[in-house]
A and B are shown apart, each in its own frame.
Chain A
Amino acid sequence: GESVGLHLPTLSVQEGDNSIINCAYSNSASDYFIWYKQESGKGPQFIIDIRSNMDKRQGQRVTVLLNKTVKHLSLQIAATQPGDSAVYFCAEMEYGNKLVFGAGTILRVKS
C-alpha cells in the first residue's frame, strides 16, 4: 500500500512510575507473541514472549498480558528507569517463522 508515514504514539512517564504499553494484533490464529525494545542505532532487543495458552507472563520488571478475545497485548514495566526510554514493538508470529510487527510505541522517561 501507499506509505503515509508512521506516527508513533508516545508514552511519557515519570521515573519510578509503572508503564503500560498496549498493542492490538490482527491474526486470531497467531499463537506466539514477542515484545521488543529498540534503542536508537540498534536492532530490536528481545524483552519477553508469551504463548497463546497463557494469559500472563512475568519477567524481571516486565509483565506481558494477552487477551485473545479482543486480540490485545500489553507490556507492563515496573519502576520505569531512564534506560527504558526506547521504541517498543509487539510482534505476532505467523506461518513460516514470520514476525508481523506493530507500528511501535515511543516510551519517554522523565527524570
Chain B
Amino acid sequence: KAGVTQTPRYLIKTRGQQVTLSCSPISGHRSVSWYQQTPGQGLQFLFEYFSETQRNKGNFPGRFSGRQFSNSRSEMNVSTLELGDSALYLCASSLGQADSPLHFGNGTRLTVT
C-alpha cells in the first residue's frame, strides 16, 4: 500500500505571497490532518478533515486554511506568508476513528524569505 504523499517536497516563497500544499492519503483513509513542525514549537496541529468536512481546528490564524476533496485528497493554503511560517508541514491520514493511528507523509519544507 502506498503511503501518504505530499507535494512539493520543498518550497521557497517571499513574504506576502501565498502557497498551496497538497496531500494524497493512504488508500481507504478518509481523515486527513495537517501539522506544522518547527524547532521552536515542535509539532502543532493545524486542522483535520473527514469526508470533506473540517472536524477540528488548531490555534492558527485564519491565513491557514485547508480543504478536502471527494477522493480524500487534501490541500492546505497559507496566505500572506510571514517569515515565521517557515516550517515543515506534515500531512497525516487515518481511518478517522478515535483509536486509529495517524500515518504521516514526509512533509513539505516551506521557507519564507
Which residues of A line the B interface, CB within 8 A?
A: 3-6, 31-32, 34, 36, 41-46, 49, 51, 89, 91, 93, 95-104
Contact = CB atoms under 8 A, between A and B. Distances in A.
A43 B107 CA distance: 6
Contacts of A96: 48, 55-56
Interface of B: 4, 31, 33, 35, 38-43, 45, 48, 50, 55-56, 58, 90, 92, 94, 96, 98-107
A46 B101 contact: yes
Nearest to A95: B56
A43 B104 contact: yes
Given A3-B40, A42-B106, A43-B105, A97 B56 contact: yes
Contacts of B56: 95-98
A6 B39 contact: yes
Nearest to B55: A96
B43 to A, nearest CB: 4
